[in-house]
Structure 1
Amino acid sequence: MIDIQNITKVYNTKNGKLTAVDNVSLSINKGEIYGIIGYSGAGKSTMIRLLNGLEKPTTGSVIVGGQDIAKASGAKLREARQKISMIFQHFNLLWSRTVEENIAFPLEIAGVSKADREKRVEELIELVGLKGRGKAYPSQLSGGQKQRVGIARALANNPEVLLCDEATSALDPETTDSILELLLDINKNIGLTIVLITHEMHVIRKICNRVAVMEAGKVVEQGDVLQVFQHPQAPITKNFVSQASGETQETQASLEQILANYPEGKIAKLTFAAATTEQPVISQMIKQFDVVVNIVHGKISNTTGGSFGTLFIHIDGEPKAVAEALSFLAKQEIQAEVIEHV
């Protein structure tokens, strides 16, 4: 559906050239939810503008639905954009129009008849869970309801691709989850390809099939979400995964305290698949290798590709017994990373 090949975007600024996107290649399959994550300044916003043709790459190609957006202009670009819709962090609704009128707006521009507009608007209001709110104005809606209007409006012209630019960043956690569930339902029910830009790994974990991690304009890591969570490679990815896995400042403080008080032991971060969670692996390890284990922190998280768990433990005992215990864990398909410092 989307094929990005070696795109680079360079801006000329008063301070010289600024490379916002640096030789990025991505392939996004039809019907999947693909996440692009990075902190502010990583190049995410430029990427999304390249995808919808608002920016032209300095080099490279952006193929959407078989058409190179980077080379299209005029009528061809307008035609290509009809396949691509977008929702925004701050909703971008027309405040003088009702919910129905906001959703109908792109249909009006496309020249759809009034009868067909009304039918389509009614379908979309039902789809996004706003039945009974069609006559309301944006000022009368909650943040989550406003974003639902934004989603309905984005779907009005039956796009093939939906771009989400930090679509949940202005919402509270509970509302964020409800909007993510809505996007997941839409993806499953109509097979819409969704590209989601965010700085929150929780959002990626919740609904994305695959993810690309951006830093300083480059993609530093990409792959299936479950794989990336279980085996993060880049330092920035490890940081994102730690946050999404609930590793709080209190967890870090506990690890530091144990490292200071028991320097002879080992702290290990265990990462395991869902099937392993039901096995008494830790009990077996303690019995077999004469080690003392203290559990510091643990959590099981869900992704669209399956569940995974993380567990921080402190292992104490004779060095040989500790080494054998860690080796035992590896044989149980549990990844054990020894933490030397926090």
Structure 2
Amino acid sequence: MINLSDIQKIFFTKDGPVHAVDGINLQINEGEIFGIIGYSGAGKSTLIRMLNMLERPTSGEVVVAGKSLSKLSKPQLRKARQEIGMIFQHFNLLWSRTVHENIAFPLEIAGVPKKKRDERVKELISLVGLEGRGGSYPSQLSGGQKQRVGIARALANNPKVLLCDEATSALDPKTTDSILELLVDINQKLGLTVILITHEMHVIRKICHQVAVMEAGKIVEQGPVLDVFRKPVQEMTKEFVKQITEPEETLESLEHWLQQGIEGEVVKLTFLGKAAERPLITELVRKFQVEVNILQGKISKTRESSYGSLFIHLKGDKEEIDSAVAFIQGEQVECEVIERV
């Protein structure tokens, strides 16, 4: 569906050239929800804006749905952009127009007759859950409702691709979850390819199939979300994964335990899929002469499966502890003895 070949974007400033995107190669399959994550300044927004030529690459090729966008004439590019919808962090609605009129706007530009416009807008209002709000103005809507209008407007011309530029960053957690659920619903119902950029790992975890991690204009790590969660390689990726699996309060609690000079060992267990739902601690207590103290734990749901981490303190004879750790490792549960945070 989308192929990026050696994409570069250089901005020339008074202080010299800035490589906002630096040699990125990327393939995104049809029907995927593909997440791109990175901190501010990583080049995410520049990259996503090159997928519809709002930013033209300095070099390289962008191919969407079989069309090399940089080779198209202006009329051809305008037509190609109708197949690429986009939603934004701050909604970008027309404040003097109603919900109905905002959604109809791209159809007006495309020259769709009024009767067909109205029919299409009615469909979209229902799809995004805004029944009864067609005559409202953006100032009369909540943040989540505004983003739903933005999504409906982006879908007006039946695009094949939906670009989401920090689409949930301005929303509270509950509203964020509702918008993410809507994007999943749209992805499934319409078979839409969704590219989503964010700095929040929660967003990636909840809905994405694949994720790419950006740093300093480059993709430093990429893969299925579950694989990246299980075994992050780059330090940048590990930082993002810890946002979900090891929040700050967990690290502080572990640091406190480790500083006490306690007997035994602190162990981190990592579960995947059905293993996250097993009564492993009960089995440990029954099989081995060890005391088990649960320090912290969390199970997260990804799009594909469950992923969990559990920190426990094992106390007892060293041989029994070693046997318990070996048993855990034999149960397809990753096990790591923690010496310091």
One fold, TM greater than 0.5?
A: yes
| Pair 1:97–1:269, CA change in 2 (3 A) | same
Counterpart secondary structure, 1:96? coil
Q: State how 1:293-332 maps to structure 2 within 5 Å.
A: 293-332=292-331
Q: In structure 2, what residue type is equivalent to 1:225?
A: V
Q: State how 1:114-153 maps to structure 2 within 5 Å.
A: 114-153=114-153
Q: 2:237, 2:325 → 1: CA distance?
A: 24
> How far is 1:287 from its partner?
4.2
Deviates more, 1:46-55 or 1:279-288: 279-288
Q: State how 1:162-311 maps to structure 2 within 5 Å.
A: 162-245=162-245, 247-262=246-261, 264-311=263-310
Deviates more, 1:309-318 or 1:138-147: 309-318
Q: In structure 2, what residue type is equivalent to 1:117?
A: R
TM-superposition CA deviations, 1:26-68 (whole Å, max 9, x none): 1111111110011111110111111111122222211100011
Q: State how 1:24-43 maps to structure 2 within 5 Å.
A: 24-43=24-43
> How far is 1:259 from its partner?
0.4
Is the CA contact 2:276–2:306 (under 8 Å) kept in the aligned structure 1?
no
Q: 1:262, 1:18 → 2: CA distance?
A: 49
* Structure 2: unaligned runs, 5 residues or longer: none
Query: Number of paired residues?
Result: 341
Is the CA contact 1:267–1:338 (under 8 Å) kept in the aligned structure 2?
yes
> How far is 1:280 from its partner?
2.9
> How far is 1:204 from its partner?
0.8
Deviates more, 1:317-326 or 1:256-265: 317-326
Is the CA contact 2:84–2:161 (under 8 Å) kept in the aligned structure 1?
yes
Q: 1:103, 1:48 → 2: CA distance?
A: 22
| Pair 1:14–1:298, CA change in 2 (3 A) | same
Deviates more, 1:68-77 or 1:146-155: 68-77
> How far is 1:266 from its partner?
2.7
Q: State how 1:88-103 maps to structure 2 within 5 Å.
A: 88-103=88-103
Q: In structure 1, what residue type is equivalent to 2:55?
A: E
Q: 1:186, 1:180 → 2: CA distance?
A: 10
Deviates more, 1:228-237 or 1:314-323: 314-323
Is the CA contact 2:289–2:316 (under 8 Å) kept in the aligned structure 1?
yes
Q: Which residue does 1:79 correspond to in 2? A: 79
Is the CA contact 2:273–2:305 (under 8 Å) kept in the aligned structure 1?
yes
Correspondence 1:154 to 2:157: no
Q: 1:16, 1:56 → 2: CA distance?
A: 19
TM-superposition CA deviations, 1:82-106 (whole Å, max 9, x none): 1111000000000000000000000
Q: In structure 1, what residue type is equivalent to 2:49?
A: R
Q: 1:264, 1:216 → 2: CA distance?
A: 44
Q: 1:48, 1:301 → 2: CA distance?
A: 28
Q: 1:112, 1:203 → 2: CA distance?
A: 35
Deviates more, 1:315-324 or 1:180-189: 315-324
Q: Which residue does 2:2 correspond to in 1? A: 2
Deviates more, 1:185-194 or 1:328-337: 328-337
> How far is 1:15 from its partner?
1.1
TM-superposition CA deviations, 1:72-125 (whole Å, max 9, x none): 341222222111110000000000000000000000000000111111111111
Q: 1:65, 1:228 → 2: CA distance?
A: 27
Deviates more, 1:305-314 or 1:186-195: 305-314
Deviates more, 1:128-137 or 1:306-315: 306-315
Is the CA contact 1:50–1:70 (under 8 Å) kept in the aligned structure 2?
no
Q: 1:330, 1:270 → 2: CA distance?
A: 9
Counterpart secondary structure, 1:70? helix
Q: 1:78, 1:93 → 2: CA distance?
A: 20
Is the CA contact 2:271–2:334 (under 8 Å) kept in the aligned structure 1?
yes
Is the CA contact 1:35–1:210 (under 8 Å) kept in the aligned structure 2?
yes
TM-score, normalised relative to structure 1: 0.95
| Pair 1:100–1:315, CA change in 2 (3 A) | same
What percentage of residue pairs aligned between the two structures are identical?
Answer: 63
* Structure 1: unaligned runs, 5 residues or longer: none
Is the CA contact 1:35–1:208 (under 8 Å) kept in the aligned structure 2?
yes
Q: In structure 2, what residue type is equivalent to 1:280?
A: P
> How far is 1:70 from its partner?
3.1
TM-score, normalised relative to structure 2: 0.95
Q: 2:85, 2:228 → 1: CA distance?
A: 28
Is the CA contact 1:43–1:215 (under 8 Å) kept in the aligned structure 2?
yes
Q: In structure 2, what residue type is equivalent to 1:248?
A: P
